[in-house]
Amino acid sequence: MGLARSIGKAIIDRLAPTGIGTNALIRIVRNQGYGYNAQEMGEDIRAANGKFKNEYWVRKLNNNQVVPENLMVNRNLNYPAKYRVYGTFSYYDNVSDDYFDVTKSFYTDDLTTKGAWVDDFTDTYTNVYNSQGQEQMGFDIFAVERNTHY
């Protein structure tokens, strides 16, 4: 990631939660002298707002379907893995006696079905969360990033 994008992303991460629109954010970054590719800026803005390109369609896929490459976000992950899978982790906290939904992600080299990725997440993290008094209720995949520099 270049210097302009790094600084631009820092500006976006700071301002996006305030509700400023995408075009206004792009103008602000460019006016500060740190503009870069508009498509990449849009992806960074969506990520800062917790939204992903094609999130609706990825959620609609059945668990026995593989997420097609045209629904993935292409990004340099700066991590030695082919994919980063995002999902909503739902759990029950025994301590607070309440239910929570949080966004979690994991890296993998395997291109497989959504259901297999859910099983991978569950198998890997169930013991970790159970030891913290959190009972896993589910993991719903909503986005996949494909590493462009792998």
Q: What share of the chain is helix, strand, coil (3-state, %, to 5)?
A: 45, 25, 30
Q: Where are the domains of the chain?
A: 3-48, 55-147
Q: Are 44 and 25 in contact (CB under 8 A)?
A: no
pLDDT tens series, the chain, 150 aa: 688 888 998 999 888 878 888 899 999 999 999 888 888 888 888 878 777 778 899 999 999 999 999 999 888 888 999 999 999 999 898 888 899 988 889 999 999 999 999 999 988 887 777 777 788 888 999 999 999 887
